[in-house]
Structure 1
Amino acid sequence: GYCISTEDGRLLRSSTIYIKNEKGEVEGIFSINYDITKLMLAENVLSQLIRDTKQLSAPAAKITTKVEDLLEDLIERATQLIGKPVALMNKEDKIRAIQFLEEAGAFLITKSGDKVSEYFGISKYTLYNYMEKKTTKNGK
């Protein structure tokens, strides 16, 4: 058993068995994939409900040394902020995540718009519209 992530952000629990002939050569593969995306979301909700009420110490800050890693880290933080995988995010969730990325300076990184658009499964045009919603909302 192992876990994989699909291009659209769903999480799958997979098991694979190789079918071999008498000579030990692989003749086929039997694989079972189970989508655990919603289970992971449920786990997140449950863990928040039963979390110890004592003040938890914050984990040590991760120090990023490469610009590419910085964008990856910011995207991961945006996803954690929303609390669900991209495959389950609605439009409002994606807008909140993109606003977080903008406020964190993610779009100052070269080609970040392409990567963020691809990650969230939206066009660059939609990305810029989502960024404008923030400017219109707070740009008084």
Structure 2
Amino acid sequence: MNQNILKQYSILVEFLGKALGPDYEVVLHDVSDYTNSIVAIANGHVSGRTIGAPMTNLGLTVISDKSYKDIDYKINYNGISKDQRLLRSSTLFIKDENEELVGMLCINFDDKRYVDLSNQILKLCHPDELIEKNSTYESINSILDDETESFPDSIAEVTNTVLNKILSKNNIPIERLTQDERLKVVDILNQKGIFMLKGAVSEVAKQLRCSEPSIYRYLNKLNKDKENSQE
């Protein structure tokens, strides 16, 4: 049943990609396989992804915290492409008759061409002062400080993106992590759904500079602590 639903949406992906034009990337995610999540994509040059790319950091978080149960879509949030271009993103949560998540239909708009054209026109009527006063675009650095969606094409990229945000936010250098700090990082990664990806344990262990058994021990401890708190 779910595959029939996704098949219909895959046709919509192709249609929207052609109808909206090359500045709009349209993506269909199948939530039954987080590691090879993308099953259809149009205008993939916008983010640089292809079919078989993994679920995004935002998608994993939505699935992990089940926030999709309370909303049907999320619109006009920030995304960052691999070459640091700001994208305007929106996601429709595709659900079955039991309100369980089946997939996600995402549209990512790259407005760079329009911004460049707008700036050129403004320069004709007034110098840089006018552009600076009327600019509504935040710097990439300030946007990256928010819960921004990135668009990886590998597990390593997903893990690295989320891990870097956690470490920079908490001002923790990897080489000086204590065992308790590693546990804290693993806890946050777990809450964000990173470990739903196949191979994530190995990738996190590599990036945290510890062994895979250590990551499993952290996860077991977190699960036991959670069970004890619920008793």
User: Following superposition, which runs of at least 4 residues in structure 1 exceed 3 angstroms of deviation?
Assistant: none
Structure 2: stretches of 5+ with no match in the other structure: 1-141
TM-score (norm 1): 0.52
Aligned to 1:59: 143
Asked if structure 1 preserves the Cα contact closer than 8 Å seen for 2:166 and 2:185, the reply is: yes
SS of 2:143's partner is coil
SS of 2:150's partner is coil
Q: Distance in 2 between matches of 1:89 and 1:65?
A: 26
Asked if structure 1 preserves the Cα contact closer than 8 Å seen for 2:195 and 2:201, the reply is: yes
Return the offset for 1:65.
4.4
Return the offset for 1:80.
2.4
Aligned Cα root-mean-square deviation (Å): 2.1
Q: Distance in 2 between matches of 1:134 and 1:94?
A: 12
Return the offset for 1:138.
1.7
Are positions 1:131 and 2:219 aligned together? Answer: yes
Q: 1:88 aligns with which of 170, 176, 193?
A: 176
Aligned to 1:115: 203
Q: How does 1:91-102 map to 2 (within 5 A)?
A: 91-102=179-190
Asked if structure 2 preserves the Cα contact closer than 8 Å seen for 1:82 and 1:96, the reply is: no
Aligned to 1:21: none
Structure 1: stretches of 5+ with no match in the other structure: 1-57
Q: Distance in 1 between matches of 2:150 and 2:209?
A: 28
Q: Percent identity?
A: 11
Q: Distance in 2 between matches of 1:119 and 1:63?
A: 18
Q: Distance in 2 between matches of 1:97 and 1:64?
A: 21
* Matching residue's letter, 2:184: R
Give aligned pairs, total: 84
Aligned to 2:31: none
TM-score (norm 2): 0.33
Aligned to 2:52: none
Asked if structure 1 preserves the Cα contact closer than 8 Å seen for 2:150 and 2:161, the reply is: no
